[in-house]
């Protein structure tokens, strides 16, 4: 029976064209280029045109970053379960002409050790791992290989139009930072340890009128509660209900006093998970409260907090309960089942085997190449966070980890090891939020207050590869934003709260990997681009340092329970600002910030003060 060659995703590349091309589209009005192809409208918000033309993308570019995936991706990645598993390299390639980054697997025989950032590579055809399937059809895709190497696909020395120049190992423009552009521009004030003024004395001069105006948006945190995180094998509803009751008890309020309940959804909880607000209202006992359900991937909890805060400030409710809970599957997260070729989260697994840790590995490798970070620096983050988590009764992992143990753990996506990457967990967190008037009427004159909730999204063009994208936007025809996405999350929160990074006492950040925590130091404005590892080495972000980060132990100690984690961050700020965090207490804590990020451009940050 003759085999048929079929593209793994129709329309993404021309497998029959001489030389093999990736196919994109270009807007006739503004010149913006898109890959994967955009069939309807230009995504440039300043244009919005609908005249799009097919275009062949460059076949050569330079390595933006790379990683070596050491474990078999879950479905829908196509592989032969009977075949011996072979690790493969993923390569993020910057096309200089289009000014965009495109992800792909390395060609067979190309190892991570053969690559370096800035190396020139070329596009070649390939097949999806496992080769044959679907009745003997061969599924074709694209690969990258160092120029002039190997056989097949593009001939050595073939004409390719303008050739990409070798990229510098230092970012030529602000966007070339790992985590999303200029990280400190407009972030407000002096960075941690960066000036003569002590942080404890900075707020009176910096906040001023901006803080007075921000106080009008304050809501009180009267209650915080959590269910311990781990792998308990029970329903997420049980976890969330226990956390909610703990928060109500902490607030000294009965469930019947709650006028609004906002649930952060879980997509893994079956139908009840998609309507988490009503699910928890039913579990607590129907009492007529307003109900809302929110889903924003890992930013769900912060968006639920923002929704409850908006209802309180608008006068729709005086008392709101926010709940998030999850019962996560074992192992790394994978897309939901089904055949969904329109879903980027599904496509990255199907086409490339690009798991979440693979993206973390790309960011880590680029930090090493750009800034000189080392695997020892990444291990220091885990050591720091495990020491804090050991003092947290809600943490899943309460054992201090040594750098030697990190180095001895298995490589997952080079250069990151198993202990560099957070686990998936069961857990829950809840908050009782009220108006300031309600708090005063109930005798709470100095509560912890939420002063800002940022739910920022990226600005076009987004030029740093991020989950779950296979390619970035092109900046060939449209100017890049001055501030990258992650930096804008914190900046928006600072502006709303009338503070800057110099006013902070502590921060809780989204440490999916050890390397990503260093990114957040820079994106929060605690230091300049590339200075995160130095801040860590100096001890500034450890308990007892100038500005502790992840005093809770972070995801390194908790693991991911997606709808709950941003709420859990605010629980930690609440206990710290009350001075009730026990052995992990940050002395004199007055202002804290959280930072979180979800798939598809969901950013979140919360500022809490006392």
531-578: per-residue pLDDT in tens? 999 999 999 999 999 999 999 999 999 999 999 999 999 999 999 999
Residue 43 and residue 34 in contact, taking contact as beta carbons nearer than 8 Å: yes
For 392, the token pair is 């947290």
Residue 13: how many CB atoms within 10 A of its CB?
24
Per residue, the 3-state secondary structure of 132-176, as one string, reads: EECCCEEEEEEEEEECCCCCCCCCCCCCCCCCCCCCCCCCCCHHH
Q: Which of 395, 165, 428 is nearest to 279 (CA)?
A: 428
Can you state the angle between helices 208-215 and 199-206, rounded to 10 degrees?
Answer: 80
Look-up of token digits 């085999």: 3
The span from the CA of 303 to the CA of 294, in Å, is 7
- DSSP letters, 195-219, are SSS-HHHHHHHHTHHHHHHHHTT-E
- Global pTM value: 0.90
Please check the confidence at residue 159 and state whether its pLDDT lies above 60.
no
Please check the confidence at residue 114 and state whether its pLDDT lies above 50.
yes
pLDDT at 174: 36
pLDDT at 387: 98
What are the sequence ranges of the domains in the chain?
A: 5-146, 212-330+376-609
Please check the confidence at residue 48 and state whether its pLDDT lies above 90.
no
Alpha helices per DSSP H over 341-393: 344-347, 356-371, 375-389
Residue range 212-330+376-609, CATH number: 3.40.47.10
Q: Which of the four pLDDT bands, split at 50, 70 and 90, describes residue 135?
A: low
Look over the chain and give the mean of its residue pLDDT values, rounded to a whole number. Answer: 88
pLDDT at 185: 44
How large a percentage of the chain has pLDDT more than 90? 73
The Cα-based distances of 468 to 18, 79, 250, 360 in angstroms read 30, 20, 38, 11
Please check the confidence at residue 200 and state whether its pLDDT lies above 60.
no
Please check the confidence at residue 160 and state whether its pLDDT lies above 60.
no
Per-residue model confidence as pLDDT tens digits over 268-293: 888 888 899 999 999 999 999 999 99
Per-residue model confidence as pLDDT tens digits over 73-108: 888 887 767 777 889 999 999 999 999 999 999 999
Q: SS3 of 121, please?
A: strand
Q: Which of the four pLDDT bands, split at 50, 70 and 90, describes residue 209?
A: low
Please check the confidence at residue 205 and state whether its pLDDT lies above 80.
no
The span from the CA of 421 to the CA of 401, in Å, is 13
Please check the confidence at residue 186 and state whether its pLDDT lies above 90.
no
Please check the confidence at residue 596 and state whether its pLDDT lies above 50.
yes
Could you tell me how far CA 270 lies from the centroid of its own chain?
24
pLDDT at 215: 77
List the end-to-end C-alpha distance of the chain, in Å, as a whole number. 73
Please check the confidence at residue 167 and state whether its pLDDT lies above 90.
no
Please check the confidence at residue 606 and state whether its pLDDT lies above 80.
yes
Per-residue model confidence as pLDDT tens digits over 395-449: 999 999 999 999 999 999 999 999 999 999 999 999 999 999 999 999 999 999 9
Where residue 389 falls (left for φ over 0; alpha for ψ -120 to 50; beta otherwise) is alpha
Residue 56: how many CB atoms within 10 A of its CB?
15
The stretch 116-126 carries a mean pLDDT of 95
Q: Which of 97, 40, 3 is nearest to 474 (CA)?
A: 97
Helix (H) or strand (E) holding 575: helix 565-578
């Amino acid at each position: 029976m003759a085999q048929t060659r079929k593209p793994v995703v129709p329309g993404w590349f021309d497998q029959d064209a001489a030389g093999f091309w990736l196919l994109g589209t270009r807007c006739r009005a503004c010149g913006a280029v898109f890959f994967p192809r955009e069939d309807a409208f230009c995504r440039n918000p300043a244009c919005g045109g609908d005249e799009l033309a097919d275009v062949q993308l460059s076949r050569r570019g330079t390595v933006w970053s790379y990683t070596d995936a050491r474990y078999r991706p879950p479905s829908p990645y196509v592989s032969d379960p009977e075949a011996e598993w072979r690790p493969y390299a993923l390569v993020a390639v910057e096309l200089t002409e289009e000014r965009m980054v495109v992800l792909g697997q390395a060609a067979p025989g190309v190892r991570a050790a053969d690559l370096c950032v800035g190396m020139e590579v070329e596009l070649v055809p390939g097949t999806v791992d496992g080769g044959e399937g679907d009745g003997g059809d061969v599924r074709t895709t694209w690969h990258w290989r160092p120029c002039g190497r190997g056989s097949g696909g593009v001939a050595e020395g073939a004409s390719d139009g303008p050739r990409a120049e070798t990229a510098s190992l230092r970012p030529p423009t602000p966007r070339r930072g790992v985590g999303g552009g200029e990280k400190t521009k407009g972030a407000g004030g002096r960075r941690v340890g960066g000036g003569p003024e002590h942080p404890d004395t900075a707020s009176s001069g910096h906040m001023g009128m901006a803080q007075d105006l921000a106080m009008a948006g304050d809501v009180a945190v009267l209650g915080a509660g959590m269910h311990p995180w781990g792998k308990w094998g029970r329903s997420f509803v049980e976890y969330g209900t226990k956390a909610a009751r703990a928060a109500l008890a902490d607030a000294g309020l009965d469930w019947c006093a709650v006028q609004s309940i906002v649930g952060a959804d879980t997509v893994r909880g079956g139908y009840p998970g998609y309507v988490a607000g009503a699910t928890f209202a039913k579990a607590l006992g129907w009492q007529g409260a307003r109900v809302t359900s929110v889903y924003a991937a890992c930013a769900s909890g912060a968006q639920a907090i923002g929704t409850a805060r908006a209802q309180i400030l608008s006068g729709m409710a005086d008392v709101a309960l926010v709940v998030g809970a999850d019962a996560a599957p074992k192992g790394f997260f994978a897309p939901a089942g089904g055949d969904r070729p329109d879903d980027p989260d599904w496509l990255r697994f199907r086409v490339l085997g690009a798991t979440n840790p693979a993206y973390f590995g790309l960011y880590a490798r680029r930090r090493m190449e750009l800034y000189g970070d080392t695997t020892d620096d990444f291990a220091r983050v885990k050591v720091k966070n495990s020491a804090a988590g050991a003092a947290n009764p809600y943490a899943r992992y309460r054992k201090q980890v040594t750098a030697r143990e990190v180095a001895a753990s298995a490589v997952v996506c080079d250069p990151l090891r198993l202990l560099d990457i957070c686990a998936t967990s069961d857990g829950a967190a809840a908050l009782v939020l009220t108006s300031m008037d309600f708090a005063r009427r109930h005798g709470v004159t100095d509560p912890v207050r939420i002063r800002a909730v940022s739910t920022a999204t990226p600005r076009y063009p987004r030029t740093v590869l991020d989950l779950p994208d296979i390619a970035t936007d092109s900046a060939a025809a449209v100017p890049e934003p001055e501030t990258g996405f992650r930096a804008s999350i914190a900046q928006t929160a600072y502006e709303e709260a009338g503070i800057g990074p110099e006013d902070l006492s502590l921060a809780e950040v989204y440490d999916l990997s050890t390397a990503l925590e260093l990114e957040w130091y820079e994106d929060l404005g605690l230091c300049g681009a590339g200075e995160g590892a130095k801040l860590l080495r100096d001890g500034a972000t450890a308990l007892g340092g100038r500005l502790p980060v992840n005093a809770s132990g972070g995801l390194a100690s908790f693991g991911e329970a997606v709808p709950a984690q941003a709420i859990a961050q605010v629980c930690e700020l609440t206990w710290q600002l009350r001075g009730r965090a026990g052995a992990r207490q940050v002395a004199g804590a007055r202002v804290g910030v959280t930072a979180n990020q979800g798939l598809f451009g969901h950013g979140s940050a919360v500022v809490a003060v006392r």
